[in-house]
Amino acid sequence: MSGVRDAGPASRAPGGWRDGDPVGNRLFLDLEGPVALERGGVLPGVRVAYETWGTLASDGGNAVLVEHALTGDSHLAGPAGPGHPTAGWWEGLVGPGAPLDTDRLFVVCANVLGGCQGSTGPSSTAPDGAPWGSRFPAVTVADQVAVEAAVADALGVHRWAAVLGGSMGGMRALEWAVAHPERVGALFFLASGAAVTADQLGTQTTQQTAIRADPAWAGGDHLPGPGPVAGLGVARRIAHLTYRSALELEERFGAAVQDDGRFAVASYLDHHADKLAGRFDPGSYVVLTESMNTWDVGRGRGGVEAALARVTARAVVAGVDSDRLYPLALQQQVADALGVPLRVIASPYGHDGFLIEIDAVGALVRELLGT
């Protein structure tokens, strides 16, 4: 059973959205539990925050699901404002006449299970009235998609016209196409991979270590207040270096030193660390990077190739030529298994090109959807 509800009061915690904050464009859906998780945990229930654009057709056949990346959220499109600290993360793709044409399509974007922008995660209130904190169970990409399937059921969407996602969102998009092939008409898989690599594990576990080494982490049970923002900031700096290309950083900053004595590139990383600390919960960062660390679409399915053989959706598979976190070989593996050509987006921006190169991404979305 499920139902839409209004947000109520709860205790404050560092980073992210909390009950009592401005709701903005969020809608909330409560999914009654128990919700059994792949790695053995159980949640008594799950709240999902989501946003929609356009109008759902009477048969539910025009619905499109867009999956956000690690530090994204349900605010796919729209300005910053009360309840939304940043503007939509794929702003140019959604709207009347846009690649995701809201005159034709009903677009849905939900904050992921384990997140911190309205959906149940470590900073959410547990049944005893305290934040989940260190008690929040491990979640996998499969768990996140299982929750999204329940959301789709509640919305009356029995089959998505398309599921789209890049980076961590690409993992969920691919999991949808493999776990629920009958419910996915088209797949856009972008700047992601079918399973975690050792390189990704190395950078992501190092980010987790930075957060856990902050004394304010307190084993995951940090108190209301600033919290382990220093550790989160270090994690963000490490991550951001993997999101951009060495060429771009060299051309933008080189070894330049600012008037305050800081290297320009260090100042740039400081800025992004501060921005994230103001809007993201460190506990969610650990939980979500751990879900990425356990990602393998072939687990329990006979391996990656056998899993991808289950996909029936028409597909566009694309990558960014300068991406050093999810290099093109990872998308090539998926494209080959699905029998489609790999589409390469030329960009100097590295992995973040999937967010920045809106025209190129939009052209591929139009090709997939015929918009």
CA distance 308 to 320: 21
Choosing from 68, 84, 180, 351, which is the catalytic residue? 351
Q: Which of 324, 287, 100, 74 is nearest to 193 (CA)?
A: 324
Sign of CA dihedral 153, 146, 16, 127: positive
List of residues 6+ apart from 215 with CB closer than 8 A: 228
Letter string b/e over residues 323-333, b meaning 16 or more CB atoms within 10 A of that residue's CB? bebbbbebbeb
List of residues 6+ apart from 73 with CB closer than 8 A: 17, 49, 89, 111, 115, 117, 118
Choosing from 123, 167, 245, 284, which is the catalytic residue? 167
Question: Residue 210 is encoded by which pair of tokens?
Answer: 């930075």
Verify whether residue 351 is a known catalytic residue.
yes
32: alpha, beta or left? (left if phi > 0; alpha if psi -120 to 50): beta
Choosing from 101, 214, 323, 352, which is the catalytic residue? 323
- CA distances to 70, 101, 138, 226, 248 from 285, rounded to whole Å, are 8, 32, 12, 15, 26
Verify whether residue 323 is a known catalytic residue.
yes
Residue numbers annotated as active site: 167, 323, 351
